[in-house]
Amino acid sequence: MSPSRAWIPTSDGCGTGARAAGAESYVAGRAERLPFADRSFDCAVAVTSFCFIEAQRTALREMARITRRRVALGLLNRRSILYLQKGHHGGTGGYRGARWHSAGEARRLLAGLPLTNVALMSALFLPGGGALAQWIENALPGELPLGAFLAVAADAGT
């Protein structure tokens, strides 16, 4: 899968240079009560961690609170082949206990929060890879909400 298919494009360049910094630091905390001041970060990103958070709207409200520009989520898609393989009936392996979302549920998760310009795409239509899967992945539109991974991005309110 090419990076252009996996990322929701933004005009503000949010996320560029993230790998180059190399000086990461980590803070222990809970997603429902982040230990940061309002508007402390340009962007807030949570990739599949929301699938294991009970109070998802509270956590998302916290992400919106600490963000100046953009919020991005990566969610597991219940309307996907991967769900049928790994998520059905409570999940298997690392997917056990994960919450899987539909595109509609992902949009409703953001409804009423101080977030605008919501974009939703999906990727990884055929888990397992291979040349045929990669060709199909590139041929299908990202707006088709059937990939294993839902990428949701929104602008933070002012």
When the pLDDT of each residue in the chain is averaged and rounded to a whole number, the result is 80
Residue 6 has pLDDT above 60, yes or no: no
pTM (two decimals): 0.77
DSSP 77-123: BSSSHHIIIIIGGG-SGGGTT---B-HHHHHHHHTTSSEEEEEEEEE
Question: Domains, the chain, ranges and CATH?
Answer: 38-156 (3.40.50.150)
d(CA 3, CA 19): 14
What's the average model confidence in pLDDT over 13-19?
Answer: 45
Residue 63 has pLDDT above 90, yes or no: yes
DSSP state of 157: P
Please give the pLDDT value at position 22.
59
pLDDT band for position 15 (cuts 50, 70, 90)? very low
pLDDT band for position 76 (cuts 50, 70, 90)? very high
Question: Helix, strand or coil for residue 74?
Answer: strand
Please give the pLDDT value at position 7.
33
What's the average model confidence in pLDDT over 14-25?
Answer: 52
Residues forming beta bridges with residue 72, ordered by sequence position = 45, 153
